[in-house]
């Protein structure tokens, strides 16, 4: 079996062990909002935490029960629903981030800091030209489809004369 398309890291644990660990780690992260752990664990925790926050933003009893089934820690659950989820209003995803923080003494394992992006400004990445910019105006929607075509045709137009020029240059020699 190849490892293609398998997104979840196994972390050398059985499924139950892994789920229990992620649940504990998620609770710790919600309580402290920042923690240091090995890079693979941090990267496995990031999507887990993000899904819990997305569910918690609903704030309904059902969402609370759903989240509790993944993270039964009562104190963390309360903090998630009452303090963390309301602060994440602007974000639609990416509530946490992982930054590498060097090697651990003892086993030389790479450690990372994982933190909740509570009071951080939401960064928006401007897409490169030709692919259509992500702007607020709705009028841009048709431009998105037309822009790449134009770019392609422009490229095609530019490449042809070059090819001709190359041919003439060769012929000249």
Tell me the C-alpha distance between 144 and 149, whole Å. 9
Distance of CA 63 to the CA centre of its chain: 22
Segment lying near other proteins (by CB under 8 A), choices 46-54, 61-69, 84-92, 97-105: 97-105
Find all residues with CB under 8 Å of 48, minimum gap 6, and list them: 22, 25, 26, 70
Q: Which residues pair with 37 in a beta bridge?
A: 112
Considering the complex, state which of residue 100 and residue 127 has its C-beta at the smaller distance from other proteins: 100
Q: Does residue number 106 form part of the binding site for other proteins (CB under 8 A)?
A: no
Least distance CB 126 / other proteins (angstroms)? 17
Segment lying near other proteins (by CB under 8 A), choices 25-33, 68-76, 98-106, 149-157: 98-106
Total Cβ atoms within 10 A of residue 22? 22
8 close to 22: Cβ distance less than 8 angstroms: no
Contacts 24+ apart (CB under 8 A), 16-22: 22/48
Q: Which residues pair with 34 in a beta bridge?
A: 115
Buried b (16+ CB within 10 A) or exposed e, 86-114: eebeeeeeebbebeeeeeeeeeeeebbeb
Q: Please identify which residue in 26, 67, 85, 115 interacts with other proteins, judged by CB under 8 A.
A: 115
Q: Does residue number 100 form part of the binding site for other proteins (CB under 8 A)?
A: yes
Considering the complex, state which of residue 66 and residue 113 has its C-beta at the smaller distance from other proteins: 113
Q: Which residues pair with 96 in a beta bridge?
A: 116
Least distance CB 120 / other proteins (angstroms)? 8
Q: Please identify which residue in 89, 102, 139, 172 interacts with other proteins, judged by CB under 8 A.
A: 102
Q: Does residue number 37 form part of the binding site for other proteins (CB under 8 A)?
A: no
Q: Please identify which residue in 113, 132, 133, 147 interacts with other proteins, judged by CB under 8 A.
A: 113
Q: Does residue number 99 form part of the binding site for other proteins (CB under 8 A)?
A: yes
Total number of residues binding other proteins (CB under 8 A)?
7
Sites of contact with other proteins (CB under 8 A)? 36, 99-102, 113, 115
């Amino acid at each position: 079996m190849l490892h293609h398309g398998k997104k979840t890291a196994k972390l050398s644990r059985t499924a139950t062990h892994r789920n229990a660990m992620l649940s504990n780690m998620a609770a710790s992260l919600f309580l402290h909002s920042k923690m240091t752990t090995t890079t693979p664990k941090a990267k496995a925790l990031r999507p887990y935490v993000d899904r819990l926050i997305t569910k918690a933003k609903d704030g309904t009893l059902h969402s609370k029960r759903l989240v509790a089934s993944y993270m039964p820690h009562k104190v963390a659950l309360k903090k998630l629903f009452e303090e963390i989820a309301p602060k994440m209003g602007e974000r639609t995803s990416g509530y946490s981030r992982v930054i590498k923080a060097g090697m651990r003494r003892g086993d030389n394992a790479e450690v990372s800091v994982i933190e909740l992006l509570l009071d951080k400004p939401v960064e928006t990445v401007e897409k490169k030209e030709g692919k259509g910019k992500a702007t607020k105006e709705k009028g841009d929607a048709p431009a998105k489809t037309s822009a790449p075509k134009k770019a392609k045709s422009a490229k095609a137009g530019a490449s042809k004369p070059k090819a001709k020029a190359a041919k003439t240059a060769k012929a000249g020699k």
